């Protein structure tokens, strides 16, 4: 897990799964379980990288997730 604060974007957290899972959905559920364990149950899932967010701030590709 990495937490960054980017000027003009805000605070962002990256979570990476470093274990093998049977499929992508199982991996996502594993990450969501981790987030719930540390008390994060509502967040915006960003579907693009920092550079894209900086260069195209008018576009929002995020999805609000509530666990």
Query: 14 lies in which domain range?
Result: 2-66
Q: How confident is the model over 5-33, as a mean pLDDT?
A: 92
Tell me the per-residue pLDDT of 24-56, one tens digit each, with 9 for 90 and over.
999 999 999 999 999 999 999 998 888 898 898
**What are the helix (H) ranges across 9-55?**
24-37, 50-55
- pTM for this prediction: 0.80
> In whole angstroms, what is the distance from residue 33 CA to residue 45 CA?
15
Count of domains for the chain: 1
How much is the pLDDT for 63? 95
């Amino acid at each position: 897990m990495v937490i960054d604060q980017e000027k003009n974007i805000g605070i962002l957290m990256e979570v990476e799964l470093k274990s093998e899972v049977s499929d992508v959905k199982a991996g996502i559920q594993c990450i969501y379980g981790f987030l719930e364990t540390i008390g994060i149950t509502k967040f915006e899932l960003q579907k693009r990288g920092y550079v894209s967010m900086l260069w195209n701030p008018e576009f929002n590709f995020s999805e609000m997730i509530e666990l």
